[in-house]
Structure 1
Amino acid sequence: MTGSELSVEGVTLTAGAQRLVEDVFLTAGAGEVVGLVGPNGSGKSSLLRAVYRVLRPESGAVRVDGADAWGLPVRQLARTLAAVVQDSAADLDLAVREVVAMGRSPHKRLLDGDTAEDRHIVESALDSVHALDLADRPFDRLSGGERQRVLIARALAQQPALLVLDEPTNHLDIRHQLDVLGILRSLSATVLVALHDLNLAAYYCDRLYVLRGGRVVSSGPPAEVLTRELLAEVYGVDAEIAVHPRTGAPQVTFLPGTPARPHAEAGPSAG
């Protein structure tokens, strides 16, 4: 399946009197890996919730392949979009294999059993995240990192054209962080992913959107977005940015002390 096109058009999200996200525009082209970065509380998770239809926009629209995502039947959207969110499915009293098989549900009728193709897809999804050895273990007895890999496998078993992930590298050791992001990078699906680690975001994402206070303050290729001035303004830290000699991606090194005050003309561009 080829990737879907995602368009977030002027989305504003609120919770009571609190404004979580304000007038955000974002696009992800078919097959792109687009990253959301920003400090805690900047609106990344809230924006993702609007995309995978948990938090309805107060204004604006989320469109998948031109269709209003909030106007589509749930089952129809689930055949296109899969989400991996933080702390989901923690109490499932199922074997790992059964959890991953849940990803096949949007492609089946209510009482359909698993086919040989379904079982093959589940096995392949588990194998891709190095979790085949967990297949028969109870999901609720796994470590945080093991659970995370299983939930990613469940999303992969759904075979989505659009994959939305909120901090998918949480709880993972370095090897599995690289493995998971490498898988996302290799998919034909479009990927929208929130990440804390700026160096991982710089290497694996085609484009970045930087959020602060619920607004996009910069967007574009990582080499254009990740500047010393932006990191000082958005994160309140001093940093050096260099091009890694082997990967060619920007490499951020954080420095102790008070960040240099950015010059007005070098600040982040609106995105």
Structure 2
Amino acid sequence: MTAAGLSVEGVTLTAGARRLVEDVSLTARPGETIGLVGPNGSGKSSLLRAVYRVLRPREGHVRVDDADVWSLTVRRLARTVAAVVQEGGADFDLTVREVVAMGRTPHQRLLAGDTAEDGALIDRALDAVDGTALAARSFDRLSGGERQRVLIARALAQQPSLLVLDEPTNHLDIRHQLDVLDTLRRLSATVLVALHDLNLAAYYCDRLYVLREGRVTASGPPADVLTPGLLAEVYGVSAEVAVHPRTGAPQVTFLPGERCAPKATERTGPDASVR
């Protein structure tokens, strides 16, 4: 697994007349963990879909190691980019191990079975998400949190250079949230992850991009980005931000009952809405 560089250059995404993302640029150096944060409807999921080649930009480009993702063959893309998405929990009439083994498909010849190396990688991926005991169980009988862990294991087995995750800690208890994010931090791959939990984002991400209404509002190291002023402007909440004495990361404490209205963002034209 070799980390790839990611460059999103002036990307605009639309759905009919609606503008989902507008003129967004971001970079991820090889091996970095980059976090996308922002309110619901800010365009995070849409931007991720452009990175793993589900939404084609109306304007701009997404490049992985200087290659436009839309120029890659399906096989090369699958060897380079893996995605764990929010709607990825469809039923599979397969065991957990068989689902994780699907991650090895881009690296295998047509109709070839799993090699000993494939088996070792599948075992390692299951172990990384505390899923070894689930291996023989039917995927469609798992809880939401168990399914999420299995889908992350499938992506790990894929050995991508760039791993894209949309709210990977959804449905997970606190222990497994930390275990999964610890695993992502240890990968040699580059990671682009959307997170709602700002404290997890502050601890695990090298840099953050804050999206609001389809635009980048702020970017940089978590300590520079997560300020009371930004949280009031983007989220409409009052908060205190301090440096945690043990982790050294910013720690956000929200102040219930002290809400404030987000500052309006000027948008014009019939396609000014995002989701």
In angstroms, what is the RMSD of aligned CA positions?
1.2
Letter in 1 for 2:20: L
The answer to whether 1:14 aligns with 2:14 is yes
1:156 match: 156
1:234 match: 234
Report the CA distance between 1:212 and its aligned residue: 0.1
Letter in 2 for 1:112: A
> Residue 11 of structure 2 contacts residue 21 of structure 2 at CA under 8 Å; is this kept in 1?
yes
Relative to structure 1, the CA distance from residue 261 to residue 39 in structure 2 (aligned partners, 3 Å threshold; closer, same or farther) is closer
Q: State the secondary structure of the residue aligned to 2:223.
A: helix
Alignment length (residue pairs): 263
The answer to whether 1:183 aligns with 2:183 is yes
Report the CA distance between 1:87 and its aligned residue: 2.4
> Residue 231 of structure 2 contacts residue 238 of structure 2 at CA under 8 Å; is this kept in 1?
yes
1:112 match: 112
> Residue 229 of structure 1 contacts residue 262 of structure 1 at CA under 8 Å; is this kept in 2?
no
> Residue 236 of structure 2 contacts residue 262 of structure 2 at CA under 8 Å; is this kept in 1?
no
Q: Could you tell me how far apart the structure 2 residues matched to 1:98 and 1:183 are?
A: 21
Q: State the secondary structure of the residue aligned to 1:79.
A: helix
Gaps of 5+ in 1: 264-271
- Tell me whether 87-96 or 154-163 shows the greater mean CA deviation: 87-96
Letter in 1 for 2:17: A
Report the CA distance between 1:90 and its aligned residue: 1.7
Identity of aligned residues (%): 79
Q: Could you tell me how far apart the structure 2 residues matched to 1:194 and 1:205 are?
A: 10
Letter in 1 for 2:248: G
Q: Could you tell me how far apart the structure 2 residues matched to 1:48 and 1:105 are?
A: 22
Q: TM-score, normalised by structure 1?
A: 0.95
Q: Deviations over 1:12-53 (max 9, x none)?
A: 000011100000000000000000000000000000000000
Q: Could you tell me how far apart the structure 2 residues matched to 1:216 and 1:134 are?
A: 40
Matches within 5 A, 1:1-271: 1-259=1-259
Q: Could you tell me how far apart the structure 2 residues matched to 1:152 and 1:251 are?
A: 27
Report the CA distance between 1:239 and its aligned residue: 0.2
Letter in 2 for 1:179: D
> Residue 10 of structure 2 contacts residue 61 of structure 2 at CA under 8 Å; is this kept in 1?
yes
2:269 match: none
Gaps of 5+ in 2: 264-275
Report the CA distance between 1:254 and its aligned residue: 0.3
Q: Could you tell me how far apart the structure 1 residues matched to 2:218 and 2:135 are?
A: 42
Q: Could you tell me how far apart the structure 2 residues matched to 1:35 and 1:262 are?
A: 21
Q: Deviations over 1:61-94 (max 9, x none)?
A: 0000000001111110110110000121421111
Q: Could you tell me how far apart the structure 1 residues matched to 2:97 and 2:257 are?
A: 48
> Residue 144 of structure 2 contacts residue 171 of structure 2 at CA under 8 Å; is this kept in 1?
yes
Runs of 4+ residues deviating >3 angstroms: 258-263
Q: Could you tell me how far apart the structure 2 residues matched to 1:29 and 1:86 are?
A: 25
> Residue 235 of structure 2 contacts residue 262 of structure 2 at CA under 8 Å; is this kept in 1?
no
Q: Could you tell me how far apart the structure 2 residues matched to 1:125 and 1:256 are?
A: 40
Report the CA distance between 1:238 and its aligned residue: 0.2
Q: State the secondary structure of the residue aligned to 1:229.
A: helix
Q: TM-score, normalised by structure 2?
A: 0.94
> Residue 79 of structure 1 contacts residue 107 of structure 1 at CA under 8 Å; is this kept in 2?
yes
Q: State the secondary structure of the residue aligned to 1:160.
A: coil
Report the CA distance between 1:258 and its aligned residue: 3.6
Q: Could you tell me how far apart the structure 1 residues matched to 2:221 and 2:58 are?
A: 29
